[in-house]
Structure 1
């Protein structure tokens, strides 16, 4: 049988055949000349070669970034000057949003309409941090007649940024924006599955006027001896920001420990969506469908465990399954597509293995395999399992695909216990019209972020991050500024200085007469 995707798929014009690293203002091959294949998700055909970075390539990039930090103008610019360049970056991204979305959709399998939204969000990330660094004020503490204390924020140095493949361009901007805004230089290691859109950053930054050496990009894998691991271990990289799965986060934590690096890690999730009997079921079904099937289910905050109170459980499952069956699976370039192709055949096999496992652990009510008409490529039908026990692996483990588990509960206490019964704690969604219940539940659920009667709509000023196995630290708003800067306390004494006399005769003084030294 001939793969129909080879004739019906959309291939963007002017695709590169090869992607290089970008180091110190130049596109370069790997030191050893090594490359790796990049596949297109609809056909799984190799469509380009990317330079495969290793220890030597990371070292070249880090040295360029270190030199730009020590000798270049970027860390010494006033905030307004950096802000102007960041706004120019946002302008350029916005002006190319459709081209970016086209490449992102082709490379990752995301539906084109959703990829376009991600490109526009990338521009907004730069605008947000461009405005924030101009508007921010640092703390000052006054002791009248005695002392003034103020906080001096300083960029730290070379920031290592390691980004995932699910919404690559947007998530790169989420790290690049604050890292650059605060005056750091960077080395970006994009995901090996999706290097295409990242290869556009050098041209965008050059056009915007970012100084040479401030941004560097090394493609490649994450394993020991390759780009990701080498970046984490490099002694001249004091900061690592990572988004990815929890096991990789544990490895990064251990490898960064010898240098006591600053770490910000947004890791895996198995987020609950809790639907109480008094909820608006129409809104809850619409939002939970979107929350698990948008972005092809490859969403860290996906509400992939839906807990439903027993009074409305049967109705919810029936309606949810019927709507899931109507979700449009299609080629990523089609504007009507709601679920496209998973990113890579390895990930497709992983998700399909969970689908088969789910058939032994729950009751299949929608999907359960390839959608009709898509015998080739990485397509998975939106899949819904009901009556899933909390001991099931599809209840406990992150699948990162268009697969959802629905479980009934009776009481508020049971719902809370089920919601907290995983190692993850990234997000939670609560659906109820009881305001007291909503707030009490939000306070008790083990999640870094909670949405009440809402899908995943964020304010960029709020902290983003998880608890338990879902992450370390928070970014977003001033939390990002905190992570990418050192905070130095400066103390200025006013008037007469009362110092303790050690080793010479002095009038007796009481402790209250002295500037109280911190005993720590």
Structure 2
């Protein structure tokens, strides 16, 4: 556990200029340009990082291509690859404190969440896939006695991984762990506003013995570096977590180039349905508040739409307000803060605009003000907006901030209709004591994840993925490895 003194000491540590990591070598952008890294804690310039070019991305892709084609990783004995990945996870754990504080200074997540979710979560994920890599088998087909049908699982090749800024290590590990376990090589494009920790764990991978060129990191703008990865003829698989608009552009780039497989975890507008027979309304309110307001609402599966049975709407809203007001918003490196900073000035502006629009439309709003302006950082009080209509933009569009929309319902059928009335389908939740109702909701909710009497917190043994416009493919669990294998059939005459 980190104490406040240790956190403060790490906070005071200067941050060196960041660099790319290509073919095992640290390097700047080929044009010599850099980008300021702004800390959301106080709006100051934390350091700089390369403003890389498409040519820099192609150099990293070429390094990954060579590393894959010569088999330095994919042909390595599984036991040896496993040993390297275990060592990598160990090094991440050993550096967890410095990684967590560096990440918070970069993206604003409260330290209590960041330590567990980011370096410790990443280490756990990498260790999980290291353990799995020699336990994934091919198949033998049930053919007649004169021929043997075999199905091999072959590593897909070069993977492009474009990572979001809310949990770069955790989500990055969800992609790096299975891709490397499958024998692929990787080019990572980290987020503009949260690149520093991904660069550091790539350095730790080299220290653990990962061969040069197997894992490469190129910083810069998505429209330049991300586009170059998506349009490359030498990237075989692209995996991305982020916005739907960017996801569409990546799919278009795949079609224009080599038809690479594209796996997308996109937006969400996840419904959290509370029935009058919920086993504990106070607990449901507390967990629901955490499910939308922790990390300032910057969580893919956040329960952004609360659908509450009308008979308990006032009672439950009051409990929710109490829970939200008890969550201290403040300096994310203060152990007393329950919610930290919004990631950027741009994101804060977008969040506040949603609240202002709801207030202008006459919707009751609790909270939602900008906070701590004197710090220069980006802070916002949790916002609870009541009586939101299905036609409201707040009901339909992802905010990715601490803004909760409450809509009442009267019947199970109405709750389902409201829950599914969205283009998204990432997560959902149901609070009820009725077992039959819970199973009915699980069957009928159009979402990749359904929580019952809880919200969030599932471990890496279960898949995470969406339906509808929340994407395709799955992170986490053994199913995540499917993205990074090619199936190869062998017919052998006997």
TM-score by length of 2: 0.95
- Matched residues, number: 485
Residue number in structure 2 paired with 1:94 = 93
* 1:20-31 map, 5 Å: 20-31=19-30
Cα separation, 1, equivalents of 2:364 and 2:78: 55
Residue number in structure 1 paired with 2:55 = 56
Q: Measure how far apart 1:63 and its partner are.
A: 0.7
Residue number in structure 2 paired with 1:274 = 273
Q: Measure how far apart 1:250 and its partner are.
A: 0.8
* 1:283-362 map, 5 Å: 283-361=283-361
Question: Structure 2 vs 1, CA of residues 424 and 311 (structure 1 numbering), >3 Å: closer, same or farther?
Answer: same
Cα separation, 2, equivalents of 1:17 and 1:419: 47
Q: Measure how far apart 1:72 and its partner are.
A: 4.2
SS of equivalent to 1:127:
helix
8 Å contact from structure 1 (residues 324, 366) kept in 2: no
Cα separation, 1, equivalents of 2:171 and 2:459: 15
Residue number in structure 1 paired with 2:473 = 473
Residue number in structure 1 paired with 2:3 = none
Residue number in structure 1 paired with 2:4 = none
Question: Structure 2 vs 1, CA of residues 191 and 373 (structure 1 numbering), >3 Å: closer, same or farther?
Answer: closer
SS of equivalent to 2:124:
helix
SS of equivalent to 1:152:
strand
8 Å contact from structure 2 (residues 68, 214) kept in 1: yes
Following TM superposition, where does structure 1 have runs of at least 4 consecutive aligned residues deviating by more than 6 angstroms? 8-11
8 Å contact from structure 1 (residues 362, 387) kept in 2: no
Match 2:228 to one of 221, 230, 248: 230
8 Å contact from structure 1 (residues 61, 217) kept in 2: yes
RMSD: 1.7
Cα separation, 1, equivalents of 2:321 and 2:13: 41
TM-score by length of 1: 0.90
Q: Measure how far apart 1:366 and its partner are.
A: 2.4
SS of equivalent to 1:273:
strand
Residue number in structure 2 paired with 1:500 = none
SS of equivalent to 1:489:
strand
* 1:1-400 map, 5 Å: 12-118=11-117, 119-143=119-143, 145-223=145-223, 226-258=224-256, 259-280=258-279, 281-361=281-361, 363-371=363-371, 376-400=376-400
Q: Measure how far apart 1:238 and its partner are.
A: 1.1
Cα separation, 2, equivalents of 1:140 and 1:116: 44
Give the structure with higher Rg (CA): 1
String of CA shifts for 1:248-299, please: whole Å, max 9, x gaps: 1011111111311111110000100000110121221121111001122100
Structure 1 unmatched ranges of 5 or more: 1-7, 495-520
String of CA shifts for 1:142-186, please: whole Å, max 9, x gaps: 335333322111112110000000011211111111111111111
8 Å contact from structure 1 (residues 287, 455) kept in 2: yes
